[in-house]
Each structure stands twice: as structure tokens, then as C-alpha cells.
Structure 1
């Protein structure tokens, strides 16, 4: 039961978001999974075991279980592809059933997840004001084209869009206070975005709820954003289409996520990217 170390949504031989992947005949008990995730120290570690014709999957952050994690699903898909061949794999999560597709591109592995169902709604004023305070932002820093939003794709995310790229680059926050706020509001992450164009987005993602300051690539938040943009009828996405997210640049971990939507409100969202294997010391 040796963990694999795989970085998802990488750019070539660099960047991406590292995840632990443990594939075994049966899932370890919850305490063991938590201990492994804590020792690895990645934002999430995924555990998978055969179940029927698919795979039973659980995700653990260093401080607890997470219902769904995008980048760890991409890492798992790439690992299953390398071990069992390209194709689609059915995943039975704690709260949902989803799929991941493994694809080989030359010698590299890519994967694409289909998220749980999505929803979005306007962010409550009290939560918005607290987030602005913690990030050191004001209402004037927000992009008026994208309203502050709560998005869901397996887990809940806060989503704020900023007018100025430099404000995004300067992202910081008081960790303990943000962690408490996120837990109070059942937020797994908070995404700060900058729209370089309607379908090219730069993102940073706070993950204090999981015991990590920031994720360099966040597939679950990307799926939630896809659902929210469909709900907002953003740039014709109510007819379906795709957009890209660049993340991790300000951390020195450049990452690329491709997001595809059907245009159906509440529908599943496809999030894809490359995966690279890492050494245990990385």
C-alpha cells in the first residue's frame, strides 16, 4: 500500500497540484487513511479499492475527510490508466457516483473527471463582507460582471472575481480566522478569480478549511465555477462550451485546467488536465 505521488493539472514537467494516491484491495480504516494523508501533507490524498465494476473512493485532507476533490480524482484517473489502460472508470464516492476518464497522450497521462451535479446562488452579504475583510479587499475591488457567488460541485465554494490582476497576486489572509469562517459556512475553498477574457481565467484558491493555505490547482472549484457560469448565462455557455483556468502561477506551481459544460443548469461539469508523477521527496 505504497502511496503514489502525482501532480494534477501540470504544465509539462512542472507545476500542478500534488496528491497522494493509494490503490489497494480494500480501503484502510478511516483513522489509517487520515494518518496517511496527514503524513503525506498534500492538500488531499485519495484512496481507492475495487467495488463491483468500479472503484470505491475516499478523499482525505491533512485535517479531515473531504467529500470530493478534483485534483486527486485526476491523479487517481491517471494512476488507474497507467495500471489498467486508458478508458472510463466509475467512482463511488462518499456522497456521489462520478466517472473519470484516463487518456494517454504520447508518453504522458491525462484525465478528465465528470463532477457531481452543480448549483450556485448569490453569496450572503455577511459572508461577503467577512471574506473581503480577511482578504484585505473592498467592494470596489470586485469585478461587477461576476457577482459574489456560492458554487457547488460535490462540495461548496465561495467565488469572488477581482478587477485587478495585481490584487489577485497579493492574496493573503489570516489563516485561523479564515479557517473558522469557512467551517462555519461549510466552504471547502474560496476562489479568487481574474477574468483575462470571458473564457480565460486566472485563479487563486484558499483552502484553510483543509489545513492548507492555498491549492495550486483545484478541480472541484473549477467544476463549481463551470456550473455557476452556466447559471449566469456567461458568454454563451448556456449553449455549452469550454473555458480555461490558469492557477498556481503566483505560487510557482503553474497549472492549467480545461472546463467543459453542457449548458444544462445543474448539470455535471467535465474538468480535465495533465498529470505528472513525482518523487516521494517532492
Structure 2
């Protein structure tokens, strides 16, 4: 039997029941991939992060309920909170070894700052029936290796979307980011739909902001931006473009702590 500590943390949140919940599970080694996937499906959160100590660093993997992913922002933020508030109180920086390379997270008072690779995007031909799926006509469509990015005219249009999730699932990218210039006090707003990964709508998405940050930095001519992901739960991020990489800053709130016996 494996007895595994589990923490459930609301990431990119300053209060409970906001931001994006992630499970963080500490192991002495990674179990079989099929078992990790079953655990993530049982947790039934957008992401489950699996942590394995490795010297003064940690190895980190992320699973949605249906698949392993190469990068997850909110579950990395949650993992940093677990390390620095529960496993090693007083620690102010941690490096996670991951499929996306080493990811550094540092603590600043009540928040955490992640340093992530930026994502390159290009202008793209809109997927068939994109406007019908969204119920809105994009003013611009971009793509990176993971997602389409649909730029809409204003924040209210983004907030009011009620898209056809089944149609989005048929697109030839794993997810669809929708964004627009922000309404005060935000520089930009966004939403993220990834039904192909078992996530109809993700509450707050760090990975999407790895592309959104350089996009809006170029258009707004500023390198520090205040962003809001306008899901039902909602979440705030401070985004910075630093030396060609992206810093994402947010707070975390612990919801649950326990053990899983498998």
C-alpha cells in the first residue's frame, strides 16, 4: 500500500473558492504512469501535481483527469506553496525539474513568482466554425504549439461568452485561449477552454499566460501587466516579460490537507 500526502490548494487566489484548485501529492518516486493518471482522474481537478524530492530540488509532473501535460502554471504555484509553507517552512525559493526544463519559483511576502519559458505564437488561419463555436467574431487569431488564441474586441465580450465546448474539442489544438483588452484595473482579460484535455474551462491558466504576456506586452508597450482570467471562479495574475521569459505572480490558499492510501 502507498500512503501519499495530498494538499489541495487554490492557486492565483487570495481567498478560498477562487482561483484554480490543484492537488499536490508528495512521493518518494513516481509511480507507474497509469496509476498517476488514475489518481488524477479520481482527484477530478484540472491538474494534479506529483512531487518527488531530488537533492535540494523537486521533480514535478502534471496530470489532468485525462492526460499528462508538459507545463502547468497553477499547479506549479500550488506546489511551491506546499514546499515553502508545509514541507520546508521558511524556504524562499525552489527549483522544479520538469518536462519544460527547470522552473524557479520564489516567495515574496504572501505571493509566489514563477519564472517560465515564453511561448512563441504566429498569425493563424481561424479553425473552421470558430466564430460559431465562440458566439463571437475574433478580430485576430494566433496559434502556438499548444493552443489557438482568439483576440476579441473587448473584455465584456470575453466575460459573456457561452461557447460550444463540443465544437472546441474538435479543433486541431489542445486548447483555445480567448483574450481582449482589459477593463479597469486590468491590462487584459482572458478565458481558456481545453475540453480535449478533459478541462471544459480552466479557471486560471499559467501556461496560456506564457503566450499572452509577450502578446500584450508588445501591443501595450509595457513589460509588467495586470491580468484577469474571467472564469466563474476568476483569478488575478501579475505578468512580467523578463529576459525573454515570463514571470507569473500570484497568491495561494490551502483548502485541504490529508493522505491517500492506495
Q: TM-score range by the shorter chain?
A: 0.7 to 0.9
Give the corresponding residue for 1:118.
Answer: 119
Which of 13, 16, 20 does residue 17 from structure 1 map onto?
20
Q: Corresponding residue for 2:106?
A: 101
**TM-score normalized by the length of structure 2:** 0.87
Evaluate the alpha carbon distance shift between residue 117 and residue 169 of structure 1 in structure 2; reply closer, same or farther with a 3 A threshold. Answer: closer
Root-mean-square deviation (CA, aligned residues, Å) is 2.2
Counterparts of 1:25-174 in structure 2, within 5 Å, are 25-82=28-85, 83-84=87-88, 85-105=90-110, 110-123=111-124, 125-127=125-127, 129-139=128-138, 142=139, 147-151=140-144, 156-174=146-164
Q: Structure 1, unaligned stretches of length 5 or more? A: none
CA distance in 1 between counterparts of 2:220 and 2:126 reads 29
- DSSP-derived class of the 1:115 partner: strand
Q: Is the 8 A contact 1:9 1:17 kept in 2?
A: yes
Q: Which residue of 1 aligns with 2:210?
A: 223
Query: Which residue does the alignment assign to 1:245?
Result: 227
Cα contact 1:23–1:49 (8 A) shared by 2: yes
Alpha-carbon distance in structure 2 between the residues aligned to 1:103 and 1:36: 32
Normalised to the residue count of structure 1, the TM-score between the two structures is 0.81
Larger % of helix: which? 1
Partner of residue 175 from structure 1, selected from 158, 161, 165: 165
In structure 2, how many angstroms separate the alpha carbons of the residues matched to 1:212 and 1:206? 7
Contact 1:43 1:210 (C-alpha < 8 Å) held by counterparts: no
Aligned-partner SS, 1:163: coil
* Separation of aligned partners in 1, 2:6 and 2:204: 20
In the TM superposition, what is the alpha-carbon distance from 1:215 to its structure 2 partner? 1.2
The 5-angstrom pairing of residues 187-202 of structure 1 reads 187=174, 189-196=175-182, 200-202=187-189
